[in-house]
Chain A
Amino acid sequence: MAALVEMDQIVKIYPNGVVANDGVTFSVERGEIHALVGENGAGKTTLMKILYGEERPTAGVIRINGKPVHFHSPQDAIRAGIGMVHQNFMQVPSLTVAENVVLGKEPTRRGLLDRKAAIQITEDLSRQYGLKVDPEATIDSVNVGMRQRVEILKILYRGAEILILDEPTAVLTPQETTELFKSIRTLVKQGKTVIFITHKLREVKEISDRVTVMRGGRVMGTLPTREATRESLARMMVGRDVFLEVSKPPRERGSKVLEVRDLTYVSETGRYILRGLSFNVYAGEILGVAGVEGNGQTELVEVLTGLRPATGGEARVMGVPILNCPPRAVRLAGVAHIPEDRLTNGLALEATINENLIVDRYFRPPFRRGMFIDNQVVREHGKGLIETFDIRTPSGELAVASLSGGNMQKVILAREFSSRPQLLIAAQPTRGVDVGATEFIRQQLVEQRNRGTAVLLVSADLAEVMSLSDRLIVMYEGQITGVFPEASQATEEEIGYYMLGVKRQSPEEMEAYL
């Protein structure tokens, strides 16, 4: 019998000449959980958009149950029983959960929306597939996990047999991920088929039956998950051996570099974002900050780097106060910053690579000589860093916009690492970066620590903070709810409780370790 979905020799060439899929053959069996993995730009999402009718293939055939189909729009795909949950949810925030579920195919009574029926439908689906939601709550009042469940219910209501989930765990806490996986298993038990896009190899091992690896627009292979190891999958994705775990020599904690006392920040709208944080970071250690996004981590970093004014408290780097100082003063005190939003803060895309590399030092010798900037020195400085950090470009005189995402990130790293900071603040350093570059960035962070730099690492990727950090603090609603003096000995489960605010250590418990 034919496979449920067969995509045969799919080619997708965009009008600008980018080949996103280059003869991809991909098949899914009925009732399986099929993981689709690959680096950014490998062509996973394009392939799934073709299956969902959002993109049309340049060449190739799609067969459902052995019959060729031609989708001109997602509506065609939905009629054929295919539904997709995108990374960005498509919901109306002011409507209720039930209204969002039925939106576009509403049950009506006398031409008007039948609210009761909508709630009934939502409850039935919710119970049947174990996807817990509150039908009468408005979307803007529920958390990300529930919004995702609403999105899945939406496509189930439209009769989806095949569910495509595009990186569904990227926005979830460990507990919510466990919950989602449970739901996925329920769905499959009831005859549904799930295609699961991810680049987290641990999840591939945990949830999927089979896995297909893509690289550079092609399929590198499909294999049963039990025959795959994380290492072998990573090798297929990147094309060489990848060291996922960075080995760290034991920590040699040095002197106190960053000292934060009672730091508070109240937003312009009067919300308390940071509520009295106190902690230290020492030379030669990585202090990780874990937490669900939106609990004050972004603001903490911006306050410490001078991008945002603090409301109260103190922060010193090697004894020098840095709070409410302009960014240049903070940098001169020895702070380097890898910003969370790289394209907004970290780079000037239309400026050249060389120009981007000197923003924190152009005003000092040897770059500045008398009244002028010595362009010869700027070029040589750029050339050196391009070599050291392996930035792939024909010339440092090209605009940063001409680089790939991973290489843009390297421009920032090159600048921030080469400033020889006392304190390095890294916010989401590997977000949106592919496996190869992630490995490089992690190694560099550990390298900085080994050289005696104090590192403050903020990351939403719990596995990352746990494996890189020496010490770990957890933030919840602008407070530190827990501190783990040996990050490697904590469990994700345990940290998850602190991230959700379920557990909380007392100030006395934490005091000794902060």
Chain B
Amino acid sequence: MNLLRKSAVREFLRILIAVSAALILGFVITLLVSKQPVEAYRAFLLGPLSRFNRFGDWIEESITLTLVGLAVALVFKSKQFSLGAEGQILLGALVSGSIALFVPLPGYVRVPLGLLAAMVVGFLWGYLPGYLKAHLNANEIVSTLMLNTIALKIYDYFLIFHIKPPNAGYNASETFTKDGILPSFVPALPFLADLRARFMSQTNITVMLYLAVIAFLVAYYLMYRTPFGYELRMIGANIKFAHYGGINVKRTIVLAFAVSGVFAGLAGAHLAMGIHTKLIQNISLGIGFEGIVVALMARNNPLFVPLSALAYGYLRAGADIMERSSDVSREMVLVIQALIILLVTAERVLPVIQQRVAARRNAQPTPSLAEGGE
């Protein structure tokens, strides 16, 4: 127990140190390119908290990032490098959006149905590359990237030719009716009415907040408390050992891809039924790949994914605000953002520091071997 806590503290410290280093470096760059570096950097650091709607944007994005981060962490833990979250998100958005638009059921049925359908389609779109990898040894990086493209084209096709109203000026569906939208996270109770109205007017924080917490718990327990999670982790640690020990390696790999897809599909439903409340082109904007950063920052441990998502979501939101409200060009903002990602995902940031400390400690009297004769 003690050991576990220690490693959790270390992990937290690691993220903290990496983020601080990234922030300092970001400021140095801002100093070089901006005439008003302090103002620009303040926009970056405090922007997401400066207005209520910006705070809302940050939390909404963090919810999506948490779900995608969990999806990526699950499959990466088994050392299967599926990059298929993007496609699963798109198809999740497509099916949940279609249900929101076209299934004439009351909201308390339509919304859960949309979520469920998104999860099922994510499962299937993960099952496919999982099967190809496990049974035909198809490289999962290639297959998932190709499947992303296919998913994108399927999404565009249905959006443009079937969902978009014929007379619309741009490629988007109609806004969903209330029965197709995730309800606000503030319950509709009389004494909370004011708060609810305030959140609903300025943000799209929905019940997905609670679902993300549940998803986080499910992912954590799945990975560390169930036989499936054990199989997954052993395959990740040493696939030959897993096979030797009697684990059904192929089945577990297929499931790892598929279960990962469930979380990504849910993220897609959040984009459609929570944030945008309609289907638009480029609805995901590569957030499936941002999930990889979130998962790597959390070392593929679901326990740290929400924290990692909040931190990364904050940095992204801050960078956007800096771009809009200062003289720092978009290009430099992207450079700062990329540097941050680089530093935060560098596996060895903390270990290197620890080694230095350990080396200094060891440089003092060398321990000699305990036993021995002449």
Contact = CB atoms under 8 A, between A and B. Distances in A.
Q: Do A and B come from one complex?
A: yes
Interface of A: 13, 17, 19, 22, 25, 215-221, 239, 305, 307, 326-328, 330-332, 337, 339, 344-351, 355-356, 358-360, 362-363, 368, 371-373, 375, 395, 397-398
B227 A328 contact: no
Contacts of A360: 245-246
Contact of A327 (B227, B237, B243): B243
B368 interface: yes
Nearest to A220: B373
B374 A218 contact: yes
Given A19-B368, A362-B227, A373-B225, A346 B246 contact: no
A350 B374 contact: no
B245 A373 contact: no
B12 interface: no
B247 interface: yes
Given A351-B233, A397-B3, A216 B371 contact: yes
A344 B227 CA distance: 22
B230 A349 contact: no
A388 B246 CA distance: 24
A373 B373 contact: no
B238 A348 contact: yes
Contact of B237 (A337, A350, A372): A350
B373 A218 contact: yes
Given A347-B238, A347-B241, A359-B242, A328 B247 contact: yes
Contact of A326 (B225, B238, B240, B246): B246
Interface size class of B (residues with CB under 8 A): 20 to 34
B243 A307 contact: yes
B233 A375 contact: no
Contacts of B244: 305, 307, 327, 337, 339, 345-346, 359
Contact of A219 (B233, B366, B374): B374
B233 A371 contact: no
Interface string B194-231: 00000000000000000000000000010001110110
Contacts of B4: 397
B366 A13 contact: yes
B374 A355 contact: no
A346 B246 CA distance: 12
B362 to A, nearest CB: 5
A359 B245 contact: yes
A22 B372 contact: yes
B3 A348 contact: no
A239 B243 contact: no
Contact of A349 (B233, B238, B374): B238
Contacts of A358: 230
Interface string B336-374: 000000000000000000000000001000111101111
Interface of B: 3-4, 221, 225-227, 229-230, 233-234, 237-238, 240-248, 362, 366-369, 371-374
A339 B240 CA distance: 11
A349 B239 CA distance: 11
A347 B244 CA distance: 9
Contacts of B227: 362-363, 368, 373
- Please name the 7 residue pairs, one residue from A and one from B, whose CB atoms are nearest each other, closest first: A359-B245, A328-B246, A348-B237, A348-B238, A218-B372, A345-B244, A351-B237
A22 B238 contact: no
Contacts of A348: 234, 237-238, 241-242
A239 B370 CA distance: 13
Contacts of B243: 307, 327
14 contacts: A215-B372, A218-B374, A219-B374, A307-B244, A326-B248, A327-B245, A345-B244, A348-B237, A351-B233, A351-B234, A358-B230, A359-B241, A362-B227, A373-B225
A514 B114 CA distance: 67
A356 B242 CA distance: 10
B238 A328 contact: no
Nearest to B234: A348
A425 to B, nearest CB: 12
B144 to A, nearest CB: 25
Contact of B230 (A215, A220, A362, A398): A362
Given A305-B244, A348-B237, 18 more contacts: A19-B366, A25-B374, A216-B372, A218-B372, A221-B374, A307-B244, A327-B243, A345-B244, A350-B238, A351-B233, A351-B238, A355-B234, A359-B245, A360-B246, A368-B227, A372-B225, A372-B226, A373-B226
